[in-house]
Structure 1
């Protein structure tokens, strides 16, 4: 390459780069891979200068589009990062057999914070009566609900964790709920953390379930109930923070679990006016920002598939055949990584087609021991 051609090329590239740079400072260039560095060392100086200028121009062109500054688009890693911590309680079921009836009782250990990489317990949450916990999917922000004693009102707390998994802040929300004789059986936080949904069930025979929603900003509680005997044992928010997916169990039937979709903006306060979901479901998880939820298909034999349902129609959208048994629990805040339980009670994350085990604490010996988990 002659010096005159090289000079003209350098001048042209410099002028083009200057014209783009006038729109704003360029974003930092991504670090090259190791193989790129080896090849780069063998280039001649003139070609290296021209290539660097072309790369700079392309990078700034991505950062500025239609005159509006845009955030540089980062290349997604092969697998999304697992939220750093999860909150769990170790539950042990005991079967009691008498002459007339066989019953199962559960012992629930205090809630604790666990490191997703090591399974090490990093912190303990305050011990409350009927305690329930919900997370925002980032592995650092959680809501805790419960009572200090059996006859005390229900309190809500927002908890944030430090980088090493300790409790960095615990803020008591101003609103209380005069929940004294009922049980608190489920808690769910909306993706933006501005609404808390929870289920309330009476302890009396023929108990009737109720769903309540706390607006954290307005400090108001709305209630939905039904006169039919039954109880709500699971709730989760759909991505629009308006629709609640809940599970209602009929008392009069051994197999009567129904999944329904409650539009919390509707005027009706009848819990069972909520739209039923077509199909048999088990535990479910809703993707943040989406209009569907995912569940393990109930019934059948073998490894159950995962089924995605529309939160608008209640109809199934698609089925996914699984190679391993996996029960969904909660999505992370990005909606890419799904926390779930695998056969045998272990924890795992599902990212696309990749199923990876998550470290968990060693469980004690018992008839049936498992984790109640959220992140």
Structure 2
């Protein structure tokens, strides 16, 4: 995995680091509840795979110096290159430098396709998977993209053995790839009325009887395991554990919350993270894939909670401060969770929480793109 050099991260956070005091956590904020789709143009944003190492949690500032370059959350999390685009109804994709936002190259759409719909990185900074959608035929095509060391495209290869019938599901991050690049997972949907627009996009109208499916595909052979979700349940925010054995996703309706899918058996089980009313902000797995680490909010308090996959219980709970209304941005990448909350950045890596005011001059902190 290509990561941003530590000295560049230090420079990026220099101007404000001196004002941070240990233990002074900024309150988390609660995300707005998801609204079900009526007739609406389908939209999706792709993001990344996630992980977090478990260690003694310490809250401390960083003692950094010198000027702050332009920086994105992707760069702060360790990404070198970001794919921007891959949105319905088919958009072009460009490779940009994470730290500066400089466009390096544009990826032309495959012949016969208007553009790409989904993208997922694998964590090495150079291997990505993308989709295009033939809406009229309800057919999803998958591709693998390799980048050179300088971020320029090397190859874009269609993977016909991975083609899927159906239409993309609803929500962000419907496509996820394992770290070893051997498996991908994707969410498709059926049971909705389809209307194709003149611009190649489409709208879907449903009456709460949609059916979504998560399909796990072997990249080399095309073998697949399809897991149907309960009627009306929406899956998004897909991310693999580092060992590629389990898939985390968020169930957005009807008893929603975090779920974990066993890729070998297709079994899905809920991940309880607190009493009724606890709201999930973001989640990842640790370096050995033994724990899920979740940022949650409930009863006016933010928490970081460690859930053991072996015991099915929370075995660490770290309060993070008072919860205020609003929608935090949470990005996870590699062995790091990065959150932009209010006017501060939070970085959780190797069991340590770093809190930094957003430095002057830093722009485009949104989690757009895939890396």
> TM-score band, normalised by the shorter chain?
0.5 to 0.7
Q: Would the alpha carbon gap of residues 170 and 223 (structure 1) be closer, same or farther in structure 2, given more than 3 Å must change?
A: same
Q: Following the alignment from structure 2 to structure 1, what is the Cα–Cα distance between the partners of residues 281 and 217?
A: 25
The equivalent residue for 1:237 is: 240
Question: Does 2:233 match 1:211?
Answer: no
Contact 2:130 2:143 in 1 (8 A): yes
**1:150, CA displacement in angstroms?**
4.5
Q: In the TM superposition, what whole-angstrom CA distance separates every residue of 1:265-323 from its partner, at most 9, and x where no partner exists?
A: 22xx5xxx522111242332234542222222043436x23222223344223234447
Q: Following the alignment from structure 1 to structure 2, what is the Cα–Cα distance between the partners of residues 324 and 161?
A: 43
Aligned to 1:154, the other structure's residue is in SS state strand
The equivalent residue for 2:95 is: 113
Q: Would the alpha carbon gap of residues 175 and 371 (structure 1) be closer, same or farther in structure 2, given more than 3 Å must change?
A: same
Question: Does 2:160 match 1:174?
Answer: yes
Q: Would the alpha carbon gap of residues 123 and 313 (structure 1) be closer, same or farther in structure 2, given more than 3 Å must change?
A: farther
Q: Following the alignment from structure 1 to structure 2, what is the Cα–Cα distance between the partners of residues 355 and 109?
A: 35
The equivalent residue for 2:284 is: 285
Aligned to 1:175, the other structure's residue is in SS state helix
Contact 1:295 1:328 in 2 (8 A): no
Q: Which has the higher contact order (CA 8 A, sep 6+)?
A: 2
Larger Rg over CA atoms: 1
Q: Would the alpha carbon gap of residues 116 and 355 (structure 1) be closer, same or farther in structure 2, given more than 3 Å must change?
A: farther
**1:116, CA displacement in angstroms?**
2.2
Q: Following the alignment from structure 1 to structure 2, what is the Cα–Cα distance between the partners of residues 84 and 118?
A: 10
The equivalent residue for 2:305 is: 307
**1:121, CA displacement in angstroms?**
2.8
5 Å-filtered alignment, 1:1-375, equals: 82-89=78-85, 110-126=92-108, 131-147=117-133, 150-151=136-137, 153-183=139-169, 186-202=174-190, 203=192, 204-205=206-207, 206-250=209-253, 256-266=255-265, 269=266, 274-279=268-273, 280=278, 281-301=280-300, 304-322=302-320, 328-332=330-334, 335=335, 337-338=336-337, 340-343=338-341, 349-351=347-349, 352-355=352-355, 362=364, 370-375=366-371
**1:173, CA displacement in angstroms?**
1.9
The equivalent residue for 1:66 is: none
Q: In the TM superposition, what whole-angstrom CA distance separates every residue of 1:88-107 from its partner, at most 9, and x where no partner exists?
A: 4499xxxxxxxxxxxxxx99
Q: Would the alpha carbon gap of residues 81 and 227 (structure 1) be closer, same or farther in structure 2, given more than 3 Å must change?
A: closer
Q: Following the alignment from structure 1 to structure 2, what is the Cα–Cα distance between the partners of residues 345 and 219?
A: 45
**1:230, CA displacement in angstroms?**
1.4
Give the structure-2-normalised TM-score.
0.59
**1:345, CA displacement in angstroms?**
9.6
Q: Following the alignment from structure 2 to structure 1, what is the Cα–Cα distance between the partners of residues 345 and 152?
A: 21
Q: Following the alignment from structure 1 to structure 2, what is the Cα–Cα distance between the partners of residues 346 and 187?
A: 29
Contact 2:234 2:251 in 1 (8 A): yes
The equivalent residue for 2:20 is: none
Q: Following the alignment from structure 2 to structure 1, what is the Cα–Cα distance between the partners of residues 347 and 151?
A: 19
Q: Following the alignment from structure 2 to structure 1, what is the Cα–Cα distance between the partners of residues 229 and 144?
A: 30
Q: Would the alpha carbon gap of residues 213 and 81 (structure 1) be closer, same or farther in structure 2, given more than 3 Å must change?
A: closer
Higher helix share: 1
Q: Would the alpha carbon gap of residues 361 and 85 (structure 1) be closer, same or farther in structure 2, given more than 3 Å must change?
A: farther
Alpha carbon RMSD of aligned pairs, Å? 3.7
Contact 1:130 1:183 in 2 (8 A): no
